Amino acid sequence: MKILPIILVVALAPVLLVSCGSDSKDDPAPAAASPVTPSGDPLTDEAYLKVFCTGVTNFRESLLTETRDGLVKVVQDYYDSMQAIVPPPDVATFHQEFLDYLKDALDEPTYLVTRDPPVPEASVRSRLAAAVSSVPECEYPTFLEGN
């Protein structure tokens, strides 16, 4: 009979561990991700724009379909994807400012449409804008192109 409690503990452990976790759809808003310094080689302009524009597209398309909590999740996902990359070296200052802009929007996701975003310095902005046409993910105009 001493083996029965051991069997019960082993059998119920996965159920207990799962029930202690958090279900993201029950959380009103995800917590902001802690700052992490990504490692690896800096991305090319095109690879950087792919991540940047995917976030723009996801947010723009969710504006008409998502609830506030859904928008918060979209902004969190955008923040996480941008935080996970290493930008081109001369984009680093803008990148950090943009991460801060996204992080601020976690409390109020419409902040992304009511406040002006940070912009890279003119030469970087011009170079990125020129690369936009070669990145299929950049289907919507952005502030990089002056729109």
Distance CA 142, CA 22 (A): 35
In a domain, 6, yes or no: no
Q: Give the single-character DSSP code of 133.
A: G
In a domain, 5, yes or no: no
In a domain, 26, yes or no: no
Task: Tell me: pLDDT of 145 over 90.
Answer: no
- SS in 3 state form for 46-104? HHHHHHHHHHHHHHHHHCCCCCHHHHHHHHHHHHHHHHCCCCCHHHHHHHHHHHHHHHH
In a domain, 15, yes or no: no
Give residue 31's pLDDT band: very low, low, confident or very high (50, 70, 90).
Answer: very low
Mean of the per-residue pLDDT values of the chain: 79
Would you state the pLDDT for residue 7?
Answer: 30
Domain count, the chain: 1
In a domain, 107, yes or no: yes
Q: Please name the amino acid found at residue 107.
A: D
Prediction pTM value: 0.72
Give the Å distances, CA to CA, from 125 to 66, 91, 120, 129, 140: 30, 9, 5, 6, 16
Containing structural domain, residue 118: 46-139
Would you state the pLDDT for residue 38?
Answer: 62
CA end-to-end distance (rounded Å), the chain: 74
Distance of CA 64 to the CA centre of its chain: 19
Would you state the pLDDT for residue 132?
Answer: 94
> For the segment 65-111, what is each residue's pLDDT rounded down to a tens digit?
999 999 999 999 999 999 999 999 999 999 999 999 999 999 999 99
In a domain, 20, yes or no: no
In a domain, 9, yes or no: no
Number of other CB atoms surrounding residue 62 within 10 Å: 18
